[in-house]
Every structure is written in C-alpha cells, then in structure tokens.
Amino acid sequence: MNSELIHMNILDKIVADKRIEVELRKNLIPPSQLEKSVLFERPTISLAKTLQNSTTGVIAEHKRRSPSKSVINQSVSVQDVATGYEKAGACGMSVLTDAKYFGGSLDDLLLARSAVQMPLLRKEFIIDEYQLLEAKAHGADVILLIAAVLTKNEIKHLSEFAKNLHLDVLLEVHNLEELEKSIMPSLDMLGVNNRNLKTFEVSIATSKELCNHIPDDFVKVSESGISNIEAIQELQPYGYKGFLIGENFMKTANPGASAIDFITQLAKNKK
C-alpha cells in the first residue's frame, strides 16, 4: 500500500471518528449550555492583526503526540508552555484539542486561556458548527479549517459561522486545487501546509509556489517544516507573516525556553 493511501486513510479515519465524537458531545452538552459559558462573552483577540503588526510572526504550538511521530512531549504542563510562549513574544499559540490522535483536549485550551492573554488557536479537525461554539466557550480566538476535509460549501458555512462568533479563521491548504476552492471573504488567514499529503515529505517550496495565488487581502501563514530561523527569513520576502512552529519547540524539555531562544535569535537576525 503506498503512502498516499495510508495518509488519506488516516485523514478519512480521523474525520470519521470526529463525526462520531461530535455527535456524542452534542448529546452531552447542548449548544445552549456552551453559550452560557463565562468565556463565551469574552472579546476575542485577532491573530491576523497581531501577525500583520509583528516582525517575527511565530505561532507556537502545544502538541503532545501525532499519528506520525507518536510521543513528542507528554511531560510539560500546558500552562507552563503557554506562559513560556507568551514570554517569548509568540504572536499566538496553537492548541491541539484532538484526544485520540494528538493527546489533546478542550481542557488544554481552557488551561492555556487561564494562563495567557495572547490569541489562541483551536487546532482541530472541524467539521461541524458545534465545534466552533466549543472553541468560543473554551477561550479560543481563532479556529482552523482544513480544506482537505471540507467542501467549498462547508468552508463557506463554517467560516461565516465563525465570523459571527468574532473568531478569526485560518484556512489550511496543501496545494493549488485546495486553495482555489477555498478563497472567500469570510477567511482571515490562508495557511500553506508544507507537508505533502501524498508522500509525507515536507518542503517550504510549497509555500513559495502557492504565495502568488493567495490574494493580498489574506494574511499568509506557512505551516510544517519550519525548524530554523533561516526558513522564516527565506519565506518573509514571499509575503508570509505567520509561521506555525510545533514539534521544534515541543520536542525539547522546555518548549517556552526554546521559543525564547528562537524568537530572540530571529529578532536579532532581522534583515
């Protein structure tokens, strides 16, 4: 079986599991209960605006494990990581909330929110507007939509629903086909994932290739494979303002300290 099939099977499997999970959660906690959350009325902070005004553009991630890497870091507390990232000057923090494949939870989002003021992204496989209500009720400012698992109509519906909740929308694409079906006014940021879903290979060339196809109305974000400041310096001239960095910080014993070193070095080397 080739890697394309394996990867698409993982994606299909994650989404199938997610549909079951969301239905179960809906039965436990009705939308009306989420809307009564203390955090539901909290004014959100725009990650897109923060990135536009930043010279470094780092979005730092909290990720315990992944389907491809199994364990990355199970020992650090999400509050410590969040505080470290904020102290480092990250523009925002991405919090993985998928339990089965990434070892995350909505509690992680809540704990991060209790510790910091910076914009928080709920990193999740979003397929239902219920998950957007969950994101808002647990303190998120931004949600991720993945073009590979959604139709054009679903992207439109979910992004418009998110905007009504005052949440920023980051839409992730892997190729030109996904990008072309996704461009619409209800998005704030377009993220190019440098990981090829067919081969698993990671190359920032993907971000370079797609940059001219992204209209200037959107903040450009590059994701995956950014493990050194050179990659960021290489992508900035292509108009990228945001850089999602996950495993690079999380695979160390102190992700916050790693982020401080990285961002300090990046600021120093500003051309």
Instruction: State the Cα–Cα distance between residues 141 and 63, nearest whole angstrom.
Output: 18
Alpha helices in the chain (DSSP H): 3-28, 31-35, 47-52, 78-88, 106-115, 129-137, 152-164, 176-182, 205-210, 229-235, 247-250, 255-268
Instruction: State the Cα–Cα distance between residues 90 and 53, nearest whole angstrom.
Output: 12
Cite the active site residues.
Answer: 61, 63, 123, 172, 193, 223-224
Q: Which two tokens stand for residue 152?
A: 């054009």
Overall pTM > 0.85: yes
Q: Are 60 and 91 in contact (CB under 8 A)?
A: no
Strands 70-71 and 92-96 come out as unpaired
Backbone phi and psi for residue 126, each to the nearest 5 degrees, phi listed first: -90, 125
Q: pLDDT tens digits, the chain, 271 residues: what are they?
A: 455 555 657 888 999 999 999 999 999 999 999 999 999 999 999 999 999 999 899 999 998 877 766 677 677 889 999 999 999 999 999 999 999 999 999 999 999 999 999 999 999 999 999 999 999 999 999 999 999 999 999 999 999 999 999 999 999 999 999 999 999 999 999 999 998 777 778 899 999 999 999 999 999 999 998 989 999 999 999 999 999 998 889 999 999 999 999 999 998 887 5
